[in-house]
A = this chain, B = another copy of it.
Amino acid sequence: MEKDQTTSQKYSKLLMTSRELFWKYGFSRVSIQEICKEAGISKMTFYRFFPNKLELAKAVFDRVVDEGLVKFRSIMHANISSADKIKQIVLLKREGVHEISQEFLKDFYANPELGLKTYIEEKTKTAWHEMLTDFRQAQQDGWIRADMKPELLFYMSQKVGDMLNDKRLSSLYNSPQDLVMELTNFFVYGISPHE
């Protein structure tokens, strides 16, 4: 008998498939049957892993956030220059826009009685907290200026991610790479000249 469900292939397959569908169409528009059919797994097997669709959604959300956190940490603790770290994080945020789909969240803010809204907010909060801890550590390590709120730093790194996806901005540059470099430099050095 399988002891740890989370390592099961079918379990992972279900998570993957439902994430794809949820991301595209949102939570309520996707039925359990559809997920099972798409994943090639019977409904009974589904119910062996998840009691209902809501718990499935939580598991999906958990995995996405955890994966994002792992990526973030591996960058923060990598043996590269501070400028490179910022650059990597900025690039991560750019992809991150697609990490948690708007369609997926829409449903929960429209139907708060589902109870997933608060769950997501809790989970997000703890993830934030963990990232802030890493930022503070970086300040102690000296590669981030100590005289600024880490919350601001975190907020900015999110904003920069958004900027990268802003067409009005990117149209000012010849290539996406140019924009990344410009924003990274701004992020690391501000408007002050360096070197």
- By beta carbon, the residue of chain B nearest A175 is B174
Q: How far is the CA of A103 from the CA of B103 in the complex (A)?
A: 15
Q: How far is the CA of A103 from the CA of B24 in the complex (A)?
A: 10
Chain B hits for A23, CB < 8 A? none
Q: How far is the CA of A24 from the CA of B103 in the complex (A)?
A: 10
- Kindly identify which residue among B24, B25, B26, B175 contacts A175, using a CB–CB cutoff of 8 Å: B175
A29 contacts partner chain B, Cβ-Cβ < 8 Å: yes
State how many angstroms separate the Cβ of A179 from the closest Cβ of chain B.
12
Q: How far is the CA of A103 from the CA of B174 in the complex (A)?
A: 32
Chain B hits for A175, CB < 8 A? 174-175
Chain B hits for A103, CB < 8 A? 24
